[in-house]
Amino acid sequence: MDGPLRTGHRVVVIALIAMHVSFVLLYTLPARIVPLQVRSLAIAYCRPLFHQQWLLFAPDPPLCSAELVVIDLDGTRHQLPVHHHYLEERIARTLAFHLHGAAAAGDTALPPELEQPIRRYWYARHDDAPAAVALIEECATDVAHPERREERVTEFDLVGP
Amino acid sequence: MNVQVKAIRLFQWSIHAWLILFLISALPAADVLWSYAVSPPAKGAFSLAPLLGEGPVWWVVLLLVVGISFRNLLRPVRWWSAALIWCGYVTLMDRAWMAGSGGQQLMANILFWNIPLSLLDGGPAHRRILGMAAFWIIRLQLVLVYFVTGVHKLFGTYWPDGTALGILAYDPDLGLSWLAGKPLLAQALTYLVLALQFLIPVAVWSRRTRVPVLVAGSLFHLATALWMGIPEMGLAFIACYAIWLSDQEVDRLTRPITWARPPRW
């Protein structure tokens, strides 16, 4: 690191930093405060290489916790994840999050893009076939009393092979 | 626009140590993450995941990333080693995106900028321009995260009214049950988290407040690692904090562990 940069080089450095940081800010800040055309530019710049999302329980924490259960042909219920490894738990949480969306949309058949990962996860840990999947949610109905939770169970048929 | 040479070395050492620890910690789930991946294919622009298919080839990628990371722990980081690690890491991350986290995303960005950062060891002007820009982009990327997540929270209802952590305390997927039934403590901690997320981007600029705020940030991230089920995320942020230190602060921090210093520090 041989001494300070020349003024012209310094200007280039500042321009590079300003451009990158501005685009990342426009890409990650809430969409409602970023004009659509500017945001489109930021998406084109960030999505391929610099994708990131910084919600972290924002704008609000979820009011429902979700548990994913696979029901086998005998009717036995198996909780996912099978192993309590933190990354397997996260896979189960991601699947439950997407199932929550399907349940909210009124689906009773598992969408294929969710059925495939659930089957793959199941077969990686079990030999027998799954018959159905259930999403068990416990939802706070009154935020003034978050301890009061209502259980919602949504069952999905597995339609694929 | 000074760069801190020792801080860069400590930062590079920390992110490679994080990478090794993270990938080793993932090994018990390696089959569902990579070799027989549960996640549907992702479309990362520079990810080799779609080309690799399934099976033991993923162990080669894993070994490659861990092996080069070990090399970079012990020797000066070269641009080609940084590029190989970044490419291998985003390939692994895209393959296992359902197990992803903000910490993994942060590290993908940091590892990309680590490529030009490793050009900062002298040579022609363009290397120094890219290296200098990378140094500041990494610094700003780190504090930008806190600011952005703080702004997102201000647009909600339960962070501004102080009830957010009180709600999360009853989520059995998290480890915050110790907060249940303590609404005042939950409210105080909610505002403390919010304040910290706006304080960090400001306080890191002053020599007097930088270390205290980074210590507070480390405690916050250790808490999220322990209670929020995102251990690799908390540790990723702490690993990256080194980029904000001055060379004098690095000397003070590493004096007790001189045996562990790589030769070029």
- Closest Cα of chain A to B137: distance in Å? 6
Question: Could you tell me which residue, A51 or B53, shows the higher pLDDT?
Answer: A51
- What angle (nearest 5°) sits at the alpha carbon of residue A49, between those of residues A48 and A52? 95
Nearest to B203 by CA among B135, B142, B263, B123: B142
B45 touches chain A (CB under 8 A): yes
How many whole angstroms separate alpha carbon B4 and alpha carbon B76? 15
- A116 → closest Cβ in B29, B40, B173: B40
A21: contact with B, CB 8 A cutoff: yes
Q: Is A117 on the interface with B (CB under 8 A)?
A: yes
To the nearest whole angstrom, how far is the Cα of B71 from the nearest Cα of chain A?
22
Chain A residues in contact with B158 (beta carbon < 8 A): 60-61, 143
**Residue environment code for A138-148, b if the CB has 16+ CB neighbours within 10 A, otherwise e:** bebeebeebee
Predicted pLDDT at A3 = 67
At B78, which helix (H) or strand (E)? none
The per-residue pLDDT for range B17-36, each reduced to its tens digit, is: 999 999 999 999 999 999 99
The label of the residue with tokens 């480890």 reads B175
**Low-confidence residues of chain A: pLDDT under 70:** 1-3, 160-161
Give the model confidence (pLDDT) of B67-120 as tens digits: 999 999 999 999 999 999 999 999 999 999 999 999 999 999 999 999 999 998
Query: Considering only CB atoms, which chain A residues are within 8 Å of B26?
Result: 87
Alpha helices in chain B (DSSP H): 5-26, 30, 49-52, 57-74, 79-95, 102-117, 125-154, 164-168, 183-203, 207-227, 231-240, 247-254
pLDDT in tens, B121-140: 777 888 999 999 999 999 99
Q: Do B122 and A2 touch (CB under 8 A)?
A: yes
Q: b or e along B74-112 (b: 16 or more beta carbons within 10 Å of the residue's beta carbon)?
A: eeebbbebbbbbbbbbbbbbbbbbbbbbbbbbbbbbbbb
Collapsed DSSP state (helix, strand, coil) of residue A135: strand
Whether complex ipTM tops 0.90 = yes
Contact between A135 and A68 under an 8 Å Cβ cutoff? The reply is yes
Partner B contacted by A6 (CB < 8 A)? yes
Min Cα distance A33 → chain B (Å) is 10
- Closest residue of A to B122, CA-based? A1
pTM of the model: 0.93
Work out the minimum CA distance from A76 to partner chain B, whole angstroms: 22
Residue B132 has its nearest CB partner, among A13, A48, A54, at A13
Q: Phi first, then psi: give them for residue B170, nearest 5 degrees.
A: -100, 10
Cross-chain CB nearest to B39 (options A54, A62, A117): A117
The pLDDT, as a whole number, for residue B130 is 94
**For residue B80, what are its two tokens?**
């080609």
- Tell me how many residue pairs between chain A and chain B have CB atoms under 8 A apart: 180
pLDDT at B171 over 60: yes
For residue B26, the model assigns a pLDDT of 97
Q: In this complex, do A61 and B155 lie within 8 Å of one another by their Cβ atoms?
A: no
d(CA A69, CA A49): 36
What is the C-alpha separation between B174 and B221, in angstroms, rounded? 15
B158 vs A143: CB contact, 8 Å cut-off? yes
